Structure 1
Amino acid sequence: MQIAATLSGDLLAVSAPVPGPRHDMHAWRRSHFPEAFAGREDIGDLGYVGSGMLTARRKPPGQERPAGDQVYNQSIGRLRAAVERAITHLKYWKILATRYRGPLTRFPLAAKTVTALPFYKKGW
């Protein structure tokens, strides 16, 4: 599942789950998010390098990280903290925090129900 949140930590959107263990970029491409958030400054973790999102800079192999990259990465991390909080609030629901053991055909409905609750709480 892909999660979009505001910089204040409010949930904006949640995509449908992608079956199987998949990389973040695969889930991103399969979701409606690239079109929905086109033209906006998106921020992602290192799993989204090459997507056009703002991401942290990787340490060059066999070298020290430049001082400018450290400051940049801290800035990105501070902005991403709000999204991480939104994800944490979703994981309060055990069904999203642990391995799902029910029929896989029912997981998308369970995930959709749980992720709809924060929107209901906000009155959206």
Structure 2
Amino acid sequence: MFSGKHRDTGFNLQIAATLAGDLLAVSAPVPGSRHDTYAWRQSSFPDAFADRESMGDLGYVGTGMLTARRKPPGRDRPEADKVFNQSISKLRAAVERAIAHLKDWKILATRYRGPPPAVPAVPASSKPSPLSPSTRRAGEPRE
């Protein structure tokens, strides 16, 4: 999982969250050099969320998830696609915020220094954080 380019370790975590921004699940890490679609298929999420409609960014095109529409090569994006993409982005904003809160956790925000076999246990051992504003009192700091 070591990147020679960045001179650091990295991994890809798949995150499942509600449209309200509540964290549902975090997958086991896969090497950071793998594509989002590969990481999605390696996780247990496709089976676990098969009965729910899923939404993802453009990295998940072809997985059966609802994604934004790509710009046609050599042409302008149709106006209907722009409106569709804006509505998808508005829905995904809360999920992206949940991902940002997860990245604030110190154990995930700092460089991993442990042995490679311990990497899958890192996200599972981190303490849950209140991701939804409704679970925190006004003025209470995030962890």
- The bucket for the TM-score relative to the shorter chain is 0.7 to 0.9
Distance 2:35 2:17 in 1: 20
Hey, what does 2:78 align to over in structure 1? 66
Counterpart residue identity of residue 117, structure 1: P
- Give the aligned CA root-mean-square deviation in angstroms: 1.6
Per-residue deviation at 1:95? 3.1
Is residue 89 of structure 1 aligned with residue 76 of structure 2? no
Kindly tell me the number of residue pairs found equivalent between the two proteins.
119
**Which 5+ residue runs of structure 2 have no aligned equivalent?**
1-12, 136-143
Q: What is the percentage of aligned positions where both structures have the same residue?
A: 69
Is residue 15 of structure 1 aligned with residue 27 of structure 2? yes
Q: Mean alpha-carbon deviation: is it higher for 11-20 or for 60-69?
A: 11-20
In the alignment, is the contact (CA less than 8 A) between 1:11 and 1:118 conserved in 2?
no
Pairs within 5 Å for 1:26-65: 26-65=38-77
Post-superposition Cα deviations, 1:61-117, rounded to whole Å, max 9, x if no partner, equal 111110000010011111111111111111112332344232122222121122x51
Per-residue deviation at 1:20? 4.5
Distance 1:58 1:94 in 2: 35
Hey, what does 2:10 align to over in structure 1? none
Distance 2:20 2:76 in 1: 33
**Which 5+ residue runs of structure 1 have no aligned equivalent?**
none
Counterpart residue identity of residue 128, structure 2: L
Asked which structure has the greater CA Rg, the reply is 2
With structure 1 as the length reference, what TM-score do the two structures score? Answer: 0.87
- Structure whose residues are more often strand by fraction: 2
- Structure whose residues are more often helix by fraction: 1
In the alignment, is the contact (CA less than 8 A) between 1:24 and 1:47 conserved in 2?
yes
